[in-house]
A and B are shown apart, each in its own frame.
Chain A
Amino acid sequence: MEEQEKLTFLSTLLPLSVILFIIVLGVLLLNQQFNKKLFRQKLEGEQLKIRHQQELLRSSIQVQEDERKRIARNLHDELGAALSMTRMRIMQLETRIEDPVMAEAELKAVREMTEVALASMRRISHEILPPQLEAFGLIKTLEATAATINNLHTLEMEVFSDDDFPRLPVAIELGLYRISMELLNNTLKHAAATAIAIRIYIQNKVLIVQYTDNGKGFPGETIREGLGHKSMEARASSLGGTVELVNGKSSGISATISIPL
C-alpha cells in the first residue's frame, strides 16, 4: 500500500517537476536571447552616438574654418584695401608736401580712407561679436537686429519676450545669438519670407527660443542635412540643449531651441 502511494506520488509529481524544469529552462534561454540582442542594440546605439558626435565636431570645425575664411576675406578686401590706399596717399603726400593745396587735398583723402577703414573694422568686429550682446543682453541685441532688418522694408521681424526677462549667462546668450543669426541668415538667403517671429520664454526651468518664418520651408527631407543645421545642433548640444527644426504647418519653418537652465 505504501509502495503504491509512493508510486502515485512519484508519477504525479515527477512529470510536474519536468514541466517546471522546462519552463525555467525556456525562460532562461529566451532571456539569454533577449539580453544578447539588447546588448547588440546598445552597442549599435553607442556607436551611432559616437558617429553623430564626431560628425557634430567635424561640422563645428568646418563652420569655424568658414568663419575664419570669411573674416580673413573681409579683412583683406575691405580693411586691407583701405589701408593700402591710405599708405599710397601718404606716399603721395610725402612727395607733394611742398605744395600746400595739393597736400591739403591728399590729407583730406587720407582722413576719408581712415574713416572707411574704421567703419570696415567696426562692421567686421560687430559681425564677430556685437558689443550690445555683452552690454544689453540677447533680447536687446535681437531687437536691434530686428530694427535693422525692418528698416530694409523687405520683411517684418518681431521679437517677443517678457519685459522682465532676466539676463542669462554669457555662454548661453552668445550660443543662442549665433543660432538665431544662422536661422535668420537662412531665411534671408533661401526662404523668400515676409515675416519672422522669435519668441523667447522660460518654461519649467527650460529656456525656449521659438523661431518661425513664413517662407518656402525645407524642401523634402533636407531638414537635417545642411552644415548650418549641424552647427546649430553642435552649439545647442554644447549648452546641454537641443534644436528641433520642422516645416511649419502651412508654410515656412519652425525651429525650437531648448536649453535647460
Chain B
Amino acid sequence: MDSIAKWIIVLSCLPIFGAAGYALYSYKRLNERLKVFTWFLALSGIIQLVSVILWFCSINNMPLLHFYVAAGFTCLIWFYNTVLKDLINVTILYVILGIFLAFCIYNILFLQHVKSYDSYGLTLEAVLIIIFSLSTMILSKNEILENTDPAAFRSINWINAGLLIFYASDMLLFYFGDVIMKAFPVYMSRSTYMLHSFFSVIMYLCFFTALWKSRKS
C-alpha cells in the first residue's frame, strides 16, 4: 500500500510536467490569456520538480509550499485579470491579491511555521479560486458573451473546470484533514493524499485539454 501510494504521488507529477511542457511548447501560438496561464503552469512545474527532488533527498519541502501558495495565487489572479479585465473593476482583484499576500506573510510569521504544512493559506486560496472559477463559469454562459465571443471561453472553461474540481476537493480534504487524521487509521489518511493526487491529475488534464483546444482552434 505504502509503495503504491508513493508511486501514485510520483506519477501524479507527470501531468504537471506534461501540461507545463506543452504550454511552453505552444507558447507563441497561444492567446494573451493562455500565455499568462502558461506562467502558472511553468511555476507549478518548477515547484513540483524541486519539491520531488527535495522529497527524494529527504529534505523538508514545506517552505516551497508556502512560496507556491503565494506565487501560484498571484499567477492565477494575473490570469483572471486578463480574462475579466473588461467585466470587473480590476482594483478588486489587486485588493484581494494584496490581502492574500499579507495573510501569507502573517501566517508564516505568527500562525504556521515555514517548515510546517500551509493549510490556512491553501484553504483561503481554495475558497478564493472556487469563487473566481465558479463566477467565470457562470459568466461564460451569459448570452451576450456566448453570442459575441463563444470561442474565447472554450479554453477558459476547461481551465476553470480543472481549478474548480481540484480546489473544491482540496478545500474539503484539508478542511477535514484533522478529523480524518484523528478519527481514521493511517492508511485512510494516506488515501486522502492519493485522492488529492487524483484530483491534481484531473486538473492538469483539464489544463492540457484547454491548451490543446486553443491550439486546435
Decide if B92 touches A23 in the complex (CB within 8 Å): no
Residue among B130, B131, B142, B171 making CB contact with A34, cutoff 8 Å: B142
Decide if A33 touches B92 in the complex (CB within 8 Å): yes
**B109 lies within 8 A of chain A by Cβ:** no
Decide if B139 touches A34 in the complex (CB within 8 Å): yes
Decide if A37 touches B144 in the complex (CB within 8 Å): no
A38 to B144 Cα, complex, angstroms: 8
> Which residue in chain A gives the minimum CB-CB distance to B84?
A34
Residue among A19, A37, A38, A41 making CB contact with B171, cutoff 8 Å: A19
> Which residue in chain B gives the minimum CB-CB distance to A22?
B127
Q: Which residues of B contact A30 (CB under 8 A)?
A: 88, 131-132, 135
Q: Which residues of A contact B86 (CB under 8 A)?
A: 37, 41
Residue among A15, A16, A34, A37 making CB contact with B135, cutoff 8 Å: A34
Q: CB-CB contacts of B174-192 with A at 8 A, as 1s and 0s? A: 0110010000000000000
Decide if B135 touches A31 in the complex (CB within 8 Å): yes
Interface of A is mostly: helix
Count of A-B contacts judged by CB separation below 8 Å: 50
**B87 lies within 8 A of chain A by Cβ:** yes
Known: A38-B142, A41-B144. A27 touches B131 (CB 8 A): yes
**B89 lies within 8 A of chain A by Cβ:** yes
**B57 lies within 8 A of chain A by Cβ:** no
**A49 lies within 8 A of chain B by Cβ:** no
**A26 lies within 8 A of chain B by Cβ:** yes
Q: Which residues of B contact A204 (CB under 8 A)?
A: none
A4 to B144 Cα, complex, angstroms: 53
Decide if B144 touches A42 in the complex (CB within 8 Å): yes
Decide if B88 touches A23 in the complex (CB within 8 Å): no
> Which residue in chain B gives the minimum CB-CB distance to A11?
B179
A107 to B128 Cα, complex, angstroms: 99
A22 to B138 Cα, complex, angstroms: 17
Decide if A26 touches B171 in the complex (CB within 8 Å): no
A193 to B203 Cα, complex, angstroms: 59
Known: A12-B179, A19-B171. A33 touches B127 (CB 8 A): no
**B145 lies within 8 A of chain A by Cβ:** yes
Q: Which residues of B contact A31 (CB under 8 A)?
A: 135, 138-139
Residue among B87, B175, B176 making CB contact with A33, cutoff 8 Å: B87
A19 to B130 Cα, complex, angstroms: 11
Decide if B131 touches A26 in the complex (CB within 8 Å): yes
Output the least CB separation between B30 and chain A (Å).
24
Decide if A23 touches B142 in the complex (CB within 8 Å): no
Output the least CB separation between B83 and chain A (Å).
11
Q: Which residues of A contact B132 (CB under 8 A)?
A: 30
**B43 lies within 8 A of chain A by Cβ:** no
Q: Which residues of B contact A16 (CB under 8 A)?
A: 175
Q: Which of B85-102 contact A (CB under 8 A)?
A: 86-89, 92
Q: CB-CB contacts of B97-141 with A at 8 A, as 1s and 0s? A: 000000000000000000000000001000110111011001100
Interface centre among A19, A41, A42 (most CB of B within 10 A): A19
Decide if B87 touches A26 in the complex (CB within 8 Å): no
5 contacting pairs across A/B (C-beta < 8 A) = A19-B127, A19-B175, A37-B86, A38-B142, A42-B144
11 further A-B contacts with Cβ under 8 Å, apart from A31-B138, A33-B87, are A12-B179, A22-B127, A22-B131, A26-B128, A27-B131, A27-B138, A30-B131, A30-B135, A33-B88, A34-B87, A38-B144
